[in-house]
Structure 1
Amino acid sequence: MFIGKVSRFFSGVSRNPIYKQIGSRLMSSQLAEGYNYETLKVLNPREYVFQVELNRPEKRNAINSTMWKEFVTCFQQISNDKDCRTVVISGSGKIFSAGIDLQCLAEVAMEATDSDVGRKAMTLQKFIIGFQESFTVFEKCPKPVIAAIHGGCIGAGVDLITACDMRYCTKDAWFQVKEVDIGLAADVGTLQRLPKIIGNDSLARELAFTARPFYADEAKEMGLVSRLFADKETLINRTLDVASLIASKSPIAIQGTKVNLIYSRDHTVAEGLQYIANWNQVMLQSEDIMKAFADKSPVFSKL
């Protein structure tokens, strides 16, 4: 049902009066004020929509020590920004991301030099947990996060996109759970999130054990991505279209939906139902409900 609705949305964009209204509020692709990062470019291309672009094109957007840290700082800032309701993550240059920068691994190895195995292990654990938080911050962000993937998405790039709420890609995109090829088990989220996303434990294990590349059509078939586009320009524009549509809706409703989807994923049905009951006993009193009923094109207050 959801896929059908999305398909109808894209096919009817030009005819949709709601969409025309969104288009009238578009903004130029400019840097978001107050977001100054070395490895990330944060744009504010449309009203209430931010675009976080991995910005190391000369290194194929490989994730170095600085980028790991900047993800956390950036998304904590976005979480508290009343002018942002939806986030698109994209990559600059030819591919989305080549995964972890090998120089970063070398830096970790240099830090873990203690001769005692226990102390060395504790140092490594600190780094691993820090890397995990760099992507878990996407889930903790109450605003929907949409990954727009072009070209290659390798290793830690897969960890990154599996922590996002939605994933679209170009028809020439390809993916690879690469970690076993460099002698380690993926430890930043793919093994925990990918099986739940695609709902096929056997296939998730195949991809993780073999490190074989897979391509856009297979990624869509398995449910890793939900939409394919001809090229990067179309991908970004259409992803921003969806982000704008989401941003036009009640932020109380959207953020509540995200929080409850993530909670329900990790708990029983009974626990999820109790959680949403507790949540909505407060949120059903929001002014947004009255606005949604009273106006065909409601404008919601900042949250």
Structure 2
Amino acid sequence: MPTYECFKVEVAQHIAHVQLCRPDALNSMNKAFWTELPHCLRDIESNTDARVVVISSTGKHFSAGMDLSVFSDPKLLPMGGDPGRMGEGLRRLVLQLQDSLSSLEQVRIPVLAAIQGGCIGGALDMVCAADSRYCSADAYFTIKETELGMTADVGTLQRLPKLMPQGVVRELAYTGRNFTAQEAKALGFVNEVYESHEALLAGVMGIAAQIARNSPLAVTGCKEMLNYSRDHSVEDSLKYMATWQSGMFRPNDMMKTFQAKAMKQQAEYEDLRPVKGLFEG
């Protein structure tokens, strides 16, 4: 695995642990963050045997969100000249930021987010793209952009209404208020609240280990189907499921499961094939 400015990555027992590692800067999402995140996830998918990713953080807060230097960097976004061209440049930058966070959905293995302290603005956009979210009792979340005078633009307003009731999401978006770990749990946004950061990591790693013990082909099929079903009708999703099953289902993993259960052992499954680019080895 390469080294990163914004992330520390460890892979063990089929679990990739990705930690935001800039606590002195409140793990704000600077230019390097947006560049490194999709590369990090694709490196894990391509070059490791990981079957699940856990994203956690260091320090008091999960992340303070977008580092405003991203929008003030004249190399990224020249703020002058023809308004039409400036607008087109801003649109392209926002699309690139959106694509960076969408990598959590696009990677074929589950991504679990373990959140402590503040999960603010762009950080909320990010965890909305995870498969499941867990937090410590001191966690809080906010659609901070509204309070700053702009509309959240990299995923929260598109994904959060699929995860929580519309009326609540609208209130949170219009007010920009904080919502607590307990409120997030009651609304179904997070799966579980843990008493401390240490308990949070232990709990989420335990869930990741359960996922990693299952057939990776079955798990990636679940993620593919759930993502597709979220954005399509039931009828279309059922047809896609039938097509997927006709191409991907083989009895090998089921037979390994049955044999292992009969012998009261853990089944050992073959890893998925590495993801390679068109012209890679």
TM-score range, shorter chain: over 0.9
Cα deviation, 1:46-79, whole Å, max 9, x if unaligned, reads 3000111111111000000000000011111122
- 1:302 is the counterpart of 2:268: no
CA shift at 1:141, angstroms?
0.5
Cα distance in structure 2, aligned partners of 1:258 and 1:138: 11
Partner of 2:242: 277
1:81 CA drift (Å): 3.4
TM-score (norm 2): 0.93
Other-structure match for 1:162: 128
**What is the distance in 1 between the residues matched to 2:41 and 2:213?**
21
Q: How does 1:64-75 map to 2 (within 5 A)?
A: 64-75=30-41
Report the AA paired with residue 267 of structure 2. P
Which residue of structure 1 lines up, in the alignment, with residue 9 of structure 2? 42
Instruction: Give the structure 1 partner of residue 278 of structure 2.
Output: none
Map residues 1-303 of structure 1 onto 2, 5 A cutoff.
34-44=1-11, 46-107=12-73, 111-198=77-164, 200-296=165-261, 297-303=266-272
How far did 1:110 drift?
Answer: 6.7
Q: What letter corresponds to residue 8 of structure 2 in structure 1?
A: K
4+ residue segments displaced more than 3 Å: none
Deviation by residue 1:155-192 (Cα, 9 ceiling, x = unmatched): 00100100000000001111111001111110100000
User: In structure 1, the residue corresponding to 2:163 is in which secondary structure?
Assistant: helix
Are 1:82 and 1:302, in contact at CA under 8 Å, matched by a contact in 2? no
Query: Which amino acid in the other structure matches residue 36 of structure 1?
Result: T
Does the aligned pair in 1 maintain the 2:70–2:76 contact within 8 Å?
no
Contact 1:91 1:149 in 2 (8 A): yes
1:169, 1:228 within 8 Å by CA — same for their partners in 2? Answer: yes
- Two-structure CA RMSD over aligned residues (Å): 1.3
CA distance in 1, matches of 2:118, 2:181: 10
Q: Residue 272 of structure 1 aligns to a residue in which SS?
A: helix
Per-residue deviation, residues 203-258 of structure 1 (Å, max 9, x unmatched) = 00000010000100000011110101010011001100100110010000000000
Q: 1:109 to 1:36 in 2, by over 3 A?
A: closer
Per-residue deviation at 1:287?
Answer: 1.6
- How many residue pairs get aligned? The number is 268
Letter in 1 for 2:115: I
Kept in 2, the 8 Å contact 1:78–1:141? The answer is no
TM-score (ref. length: structure 1): 0.86
Deviation for aligned residue 1:109: 8.5
Asked if structure 2 preserves the Cα contact closer than 8 Å seen for 1:43 and 1:51, the reply is yes
Q: What is the distance in 2 between the residues matched to 1:268 and 1:109?
A: 42
Q: Which amino acid aligns with 1:258?
A: K
Superposed displacement of residue 282, structure 1:
2.0
Aligned-residue offset at 1:114: 3.8
Query: CA separation in 2, counterparts of 1:220 and 1:166?
Result: 12
Structure 1: segments with no counterpart, 5+ residues: 1-33
In the alignment, is the contact (CA less than 8 A) between 2:71 and 2:77 conserved in 1? no
**Equivalents in 2 of 1:68, 1:201: separation in Å?**
28
The Cα of 1:288 is off from its aligned counterpart by: 1.1
